[in-house]
Structures are given as structure tokens and as C-alpha cells.
């Protein structure tokens, strides 16, 4: 009976461990980090393991233990609130450690069974280490003393229920801690460390949710970054279209088909007024839904932006231009988003050449 009880305890412990791993209460930017080739005499190297609390209760890191004395961890001591992030910084001393290494770090929290992180690399003498790039070369985008590898926040094409995350890798190039604060629009979530220690790397995870944006077409704007209370702007972009991946061949064949009477609306020198007519038609077998019509210029406006076109129907809309704002040759675009699987995005040029 004692043996059976012991086996039941083991099974229960294993099931609890599996549940905790699959539950995903805690997520890490990495669980294994490779330092690559480092110098025996180059001093300590460090890496920030960033963990995010995906549970509904505060996360407390109770303890972090390394497998040897050459590895030193430090961590966020205050509770990490739900959906927020904390940091476990692991430093490795390569002195007298020549050769390959693989070290384990065990993380004890109030939410999951112990979690194992790993660092690895190869220690060699100083003459064998390739020349290190300057920080400014590795992180060419400067936001004051905070450097980024890239400021690219182009989320590409998504459907209305989709989302995408972009990781921005940063580095504090100063000798003092850098504070950062990000104020995103409501259709974004951003995970980052509020404080980045001197000469430390950091990761900012920016997620765009098309469902929260809840509009078709181009999403463009700026994310506002405050680095040490100084404002910086990073532009973002995305394109939201219908998802046609689940459409069968029959549905695609019977879908609406968009057509337009012109590929360019030319206002000339305004002698004939400021309005032009754009005709859209549907040569398909089903209703064509115009999801949105966007203008790349605030000085050009269509008379309507969302409507339906029945099969074999022609719809006319007025395109107006604010001639008081146009002082020189002008070129913009009307982007027409529809549920035509072959042409979900149709663009019409708008040009003008006003008299001087």
C-alpha cells in the first residue's frame, strides 16, 4: 500500500508539473541564451531574461539559484502584476573558465513549479575573440542614450481577427539607468522593462490587434516613447484585409469582382470645379462589399467610404478636393478595400496641377 501511495504521489506531482508548463502563466523572451565566443579576460557578460505574467494574480519571484558560483543572478524583487513584465539578469564570469560552458538557472515563483533557464557559450583567450562591433553599429537607432537595432514597426497584412508581435531589441548605452515609458493606442499592447540598467540589453514587445483597431485598410500612426522623460516617436503601419484562406474555390469563383472606370482622377488646374465622379461596378456573382475607401491626403475626400454593390450594378461617388490647400502639382491615392478575393485592395491615383 505504501508503494502504491508513493506512485500516486509521483503521478500527481508529474501531472501538476505538466499542467503548470502547459498553462502558460509565465512567458519568457528566451529560456536558453547563447553568449557565443567570449574572452576569458573580458570581464562578466550578462543577459536579461524577461518574463511576462499571463496569470490573473501578481507574480512573485521567490528565489533564483545558479548551478555554479561563476553564474550570478539578480531579479525583480517587487510583485509583477498581471500582463506586466519583470527581469532576471544572469551574469557569467569567464575568468579561468576556458572552453565551452552550459549553466542552468532555476527560478522559483508563487505561480509555477521551478522553471529552468540556461546560458551557454565558449570562453577563449582574448586574441582569439573576433573584434566586437561598437554598440552604435549593432544598435544604429538612437533614442537619446537608449539604442535600438531597428525601429521597424511594419506589421504587414492581417485579417480583422489577427494580431502580430514585433520585438524591438534595445541597449542602454549610458553609464546610468534609463527609464522608458510607452503610451500606445488602445489596439496595441506593449511589454517592456520600465528601467534598463547601464550597458544592458532590453526587449520591447509591441503587439497590434486588428480586432481592436476594427477598421479595414491601412493603419498608420506613431508610438510615443518617453526615454528619461524625453519624447520620441516611432511610426507604425499595418494593412487590414479580409481573410480569404478559408474560402473554397466555389465561393471565390462566385465572389464579387470590383471594377473602376478610371485608374486616375485628374483635377487638372481646377478650372472645371473641385468635384469628380468615380464609378465602381461589380462584375461578379455575389454582393461586393466596399469595406473602406481611404485617402492618402487629408485634402481629398470621397463622398462615401463603405457601401455594397450588387452584381452588375454601378455605383457613383463624388471625389472632392480642397483646392485652397493645393498650391503645387499634387499626387495622392485613394485605397479601395473590398471583399473581392482577387483585388482586395484597389488603388486610384488622384492628381492636380493648379495654376500658379
Question: How far apart, in whole angstroms, are the C-alpha atoms of residue 58 and residue 322?
Answer: 54
Q: What is the mean pLDDT of residues 249-272?
A: 90
Of 132, 150, 185, at which residue does a domain stop? 132
Number of domains in the chain: 3
Question: How far apart, in whole angstroms, are the C-alpha atoms of residue 183 and residue 189?
Answer: 9
What's 263's domain CATH number?
Answer: 2.60.40.10
**Residue bearing the bigger pLDDT, 163 or 274:** 163
- Number of other residues whose CB lies within 10 A of the CB of residue 147: 22
pLDDT for the residue numbered 268 = 84
DSSP, collapsed to helix, strand or coil, labels residue 9 as: helix
Q: Say whether pLDDT at 21 is over 70.
A: no
Do 33 and 123 have their domain in common? yes
Q: What region does 71 belong to: left with phi over 0, alpha with psi -120 to 50, or beta?
A: beta
Do 207 and 278 have their domain in common? no
Of 240, 275, 298, at which residue does a domain stop? 240
Do 140 and 230 have their domain in common? yes
pLDDT for the residue numbered 273 = 65
Do 264 and 284 have their domain in common? yes
pLDDT band at 188 (very low <50, low <70, confident <90, very high): very high
Q: Say whether pLDDT at 23 is over 50.
A: no
Question: How far apart, in whole angstroms, are the C-alpha atoms of residue 109 and residue 116?
Answer: 12
Question: How far apart, in whole angstroms, are the C-alpha atoms of residue 46 and residue 43?
Answer: 10
Is the pTM for the entire model greater than 0.85?
Answer: no
Do 236 and 140 have their domain in common? yes
285 domain-assigned: yes
Do 233 and 277 have their domain in common? no
Query: Can you read off the three cell numbers belonging to residue 263?
Result: 485608374
pLDDT for the residue numbered 310 = 98
Do 206 and 274 have their domain in common? no
324 domain-assigned: yes
51 domain-assigned: yes
8 domain-assigned: no
11 domain-assigned: no
280 domain-assigned: yes
pLDDT for the residue numbered 6 = 40
Q: Say whether pLDDT at 38 is over 50.
A: yes
Do 195 and 278 have their domain in common? no
pLDDT digits (tens, 9 = 90+) for 64-77: 999 888 888 998 88
Do 181 and 254 have their domain in common? no
Q: Where are the beta strands (DSSP E) in 125-255?
A: 141-143, 146-148, 154-158, 163-172, 178-183, 188-191, 195-196, 201-209, 217-227, 230-240
83 domain-assigned: yes
pLDDT band at 272 (very low <50, low <70, confident <90, very high): low
Q: Say whether pLDDT at 9 is over 80.
A: no
179 domain-assigned: yes
Do 149 and 189 have their domain in common? yes
pLDDT for the residue numbered 317 = 95
Lowest-confidence segment of 36-45, 112-121, 209-218, 284-293 by average pLDDT: 36-45
Computed over every residue of the chain, the mean pLDDT equals 86
Q: What is the mean pLDDT of residues 226-248?
A: 91
pLDDT for the residue numbered 186 = 92
pLDDT for the residue numbered 8 = 40
Q: What region does 340 belong to: left with phi over 0, alpha with psi -120 to 50, or beta?
A: beta
- Domain of residue 192 covers 136-240
Q: What is the mean pLDDT of residues 277-295?
A: 96
Q: What percent of the chain has pLDDT over 90?
A: 49
pLDDT digits (tens, 9 = 90+) for 133-186: 567 788 888 888 899 999 899 999 999 999 999 999 999 988 999 999 998 899
**Residue bearing the bigger pLDDT, 303 or 37:** 303
Query: Can you read off the three cell numbers belonging to residue 61?
Result: 519571484
Of 214, 240, 266, at which residue does a domain stop? 240
Do 282 and 335 have their domain in common? yes
Do 30 and 127 have their domain in common? yes
pLDDT for the residue numbered 126 = 60
Amino acid at each position: 500500500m505504501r508503494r502504491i501511495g508513493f506512485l500516486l504521489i509521483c503521478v500527481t506531482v508529474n501531472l501538476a508539473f505538466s499542467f503548470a508548463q502547459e498553462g502558460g502563466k509565465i512567458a519568457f523572451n528566451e529560456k536558453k541564451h547563447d553568449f557565443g565566443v567570449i574572452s576569458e579576460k573580458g570581464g562578466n557578460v550578462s543577459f536579461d531574461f524577461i518574463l511576462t505574467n499571463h496569470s490573473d494574480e501578481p507574480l512573485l519571484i521567490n528565489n533564483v539559484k545558479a548551478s555554479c558560483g561563476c553564474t550570478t543572478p539578480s531579479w525583480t524583487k517587487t510583485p509583477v502584476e498581471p500582463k506586466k513584465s519583470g527581469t532576471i539578469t544572469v551574469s557569467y564570469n569567464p575568468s579561468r573558465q576556458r572552453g565551452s560552458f552550459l549553466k542552468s538557472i532555476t527560478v522559483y515563483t508563487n505561480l509555477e513549479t521551478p522553471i529552468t533557464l540556461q546560458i551557454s557559450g565558449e570562453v577563449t583567450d582574448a586574441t582569439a575573440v573576433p573584434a566586437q562591433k561598437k554598440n552604435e553599429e549593432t544598435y544604429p537607432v538612437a533614442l537619446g542614450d537608449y539604442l535600438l537595432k531597428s525601429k521597424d514597426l511594419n506589421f504587414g497584412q492581417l485579417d480583422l481577427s489577427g494580431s502580430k508581435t514585433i520585438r524591438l531589441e534595445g541597449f542602454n548605452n549610458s553609464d546610468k539607468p534609463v527609464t522608458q515609458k510607452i503610451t500606445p493606442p488602445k489596439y496595441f499592447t506593449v511589454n517592456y522593462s520600465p528601467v534598463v540598467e547601464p550597458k544592458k540589453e532590453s526587449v520591447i514587445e509591441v503587439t497590434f490587434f486588428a480586432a481592436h483597431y476594427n477598421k479595414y485598410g491601412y493603419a498608420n500612426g506613431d508610438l510615443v516613447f518617453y526615454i528619461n522623460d524625453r519624447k520620441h516617436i516611432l511610426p507604425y503601419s499595418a494593412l487590414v484585409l479580409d481573410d480569404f484562406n478559408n474560402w473554397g474555390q466555389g465561393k471565390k469563383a462566385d465572389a464579387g469582382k470590383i471594377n473602376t472606370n478610371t485608374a486616375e482622377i485628374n483635377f487638372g488646374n481646377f478650372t472645371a470645379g473641385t468635384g469628380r465622379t468615380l464609378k465602381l461596378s461589380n462584375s461578379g456573382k455575389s454582393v461586393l462589399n466596399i469595406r473602406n475607401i481611404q485617402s492618402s491626403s487629408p485634402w481629398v475626400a470621397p463622398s462615401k467610404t463603405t457601401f455594397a454593390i450588387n452584381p452588375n450594378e454601378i455605383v457613383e461617388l463624388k471625389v472632392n478636393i480642397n483646392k485652397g490647400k493645393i498650391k503645387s502639382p499634387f499626387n495622392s491615392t485613394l485605397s479601395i478595400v473590398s471583399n473581392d478575393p482577387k483585388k482586395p485592395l484597389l488603388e486610384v491615383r488622384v492628381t492636380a496641377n493648379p495654376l500658379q
